[in-house]
Amino acid sequence: QIDVAQLLKNLYVANEEECLSHSDLTETEKNALIKHYEDLRSEMSSDVKQLSERSKIKNLETTKAGMERKLQNMQEENRAMEKRFADEKHSVDLLTAEGKEIRAEIRSLESQDQKSDKGILDNIQKLVLKNEELKKAEIAFKDQCRQEMARIQQEIKEAEQITPEDDIRESLHVLEKEREKLQTIRLQLAKKNRAIVSIQRQLDNIPSRTELAQYQRRFLELYNQVSAKHRETKQFYTMYNTLDDTKRYLTKELSLLSSIHENYTDGMGNPQSKEHFVTQLEAIVDGVQQTKTKLKSTFEDEKAKRDGLNSQLGYSLSHIKIYLEQEFNYIKVILN
């Protein structure tokens, strides 16, 4: 910056020297010339003061423009937050409506069959209660956010009326703190939204009544297939055991006949050998009779088991028939 006062002083000294050098001027002319320079000096001093005031005003206008831009940005953020709150409120309304539909469906399912899907209904009720608690917490949290936003807007309005530099710095400091709080609130809101999405996925993963009926039919088909395969395998095992027993008895019979054939000639050579041979044959016949008696007893036991199982099967089939009739009547009553 130019030192205007020093410039005026130098100009005044130069003028005085010039006036002194002009000795031909009269006293009146000299006084008039000095007065002219004094007036010029006062005018330049007033111009300097005006320039200083204009500089301060320009700085204040620059600061005010910066504050207005910041206020405009904050207002845009507030409008964005209001829009986001409106969207969240719409989502909460949708979730509330969906919760009402789920509760209505639960009541309908409970009225239809309270015993069939009791475990699944209890699980659904727990999830619905948990979802409602999260919704209530979210609504309370959003109310708190709205209160915070209203308080911030009030502080912004108050800040619009303040222009000194100290108050501006204080407002910027408060604004930075509020931005940090806003960021924290956004993080908490995102966490709540993730929790709501997780609960929603858990609710979606619960199978419906139609899907449960499909699962039941599929399980029955698989059970019938496994039962048929088990029955077929059991028949193969039974046939194998029967053939193995037949083979064993035929082998024993063949071995016995071969032994009798080989010892017959030697046993009939003298009376003593003949008696010993006959005794061995009687012992063999007794062993065969005991084996026959044991097998006959086993046969009778298995036959008794078969008769008992057949009676149980008939009893079960009669109960199944009664159950199917009752189920058909129940479905008929519901449809009517």
Could you report the per-residue pLDDT of 181-227, keeping only the tens digit for each? 889 998 999 999 898 888 888 887 877 778 888 888 999 999 999 99
| pLDDT cut 90: percent of the chain above it | 16
CA dihedral of 64, 66, 68, 69, whole degrees rounded to 10 = 170
Q: Reduce the secondary structure of the chain to three states and give it as a string.
A: CCCHHHHHHHHHHHHHHHHHHCCCCCHHHHHHHHHHHHHHHHHHHHHHHHHHHHHHHHHHHHHHHHHHHHHHHHHHHHHHHHHHHHHHHHHHHHHHHHHHHHHHHHHHHHHHCCCCCHHHHHHHHHHHHHHHHHHHHHHHHHHHHHHHHHHHHHHHHHHHCCCCHHHHHHHHHHHHHHHHHHHHHHHHHHHHHHHHHHHHHHHHHCCCHHHHHHHHHHHHHHHHHHHHHHHHHHHHHHHHHHHHHHHHHHHHHHHHHHHHHHHHHHHCCCHHHHHHHHHHHHHHHHHHHHHHHHHHHHHHHHHHHHHHHHHHHHHHHHHHHHHHHHHHHHHHHHHC
- Position 33 pLDDT exceeds 70: no
Phi, psi angle pair for 57, to nearest 5°: -65, -40
The pLDDT value given to residue 273? 76
The pLDDT value given to residue 41? 65
- Position 321 pLDDT exceeds 50: yes
- Position 3 pLDDT exceeds 80: no
The pLDDT value given to residue 1? 42
- Position 180 pLDDT exceeds 60: yes
**Mean pLDDT (whole number) for 125-141:** 80
- Position 23 pLDDT exceeds 50: no
Band of pLDDT at residue 315, cut at 50, 70 and 90: very high
The pLDDT value given to residue 295? 86
Could you report the per-residue pLDDT of 59-73, keeping only the tens digit for each? 677 776 777 777 777
The pLDDT value given to residue 300? 92
The pLDDT value given to residue 251? 92
The pLDDT value given to residue 49? 60
The pLDDT value given to residue 319? 92
**Mean pLDDT across the chain, nearest whole number?**
77
Higher pLDDT, 14 or 118: 118
**Mean pLDDT (whole number) for 85-103:** 75
Q: Domain residue spans in the chain?
A: 67-206, 216-335
Higher pLDDT, 16 or 334: 334
Q: Taking the CA atoms of 322, 324, 327 and 331 in sequence, report the sign of the dihedral they define.
A: negative
Could you report the per-residue pLDDT of 228-271, keeping only the tens digit for each? 999 999 999 989 998 998 898 899 889 888 887 877 777 677 77
Contact criterion met (CB below 8 Å) for 120 and 206: yes
Q: Taking the CA atoms of 61, 65, 71 and 72 in sequence, report the sign of the dihedral they define.
A: positive
The pLDDT value given to residue 223? 92
**Mean pLDDT (whole number) for 90-116:** 70
Neighbours of 188 (CB within 10 A): 13
- Position 2 pLDDT exceeds 50: no
What is the pTM for the complete model shown?
Answer: 0.32
Could you report the per-residue pLDDT of 137-163, keeping only the tens digit for each? 888 888 888 888 888 778 777 766 655
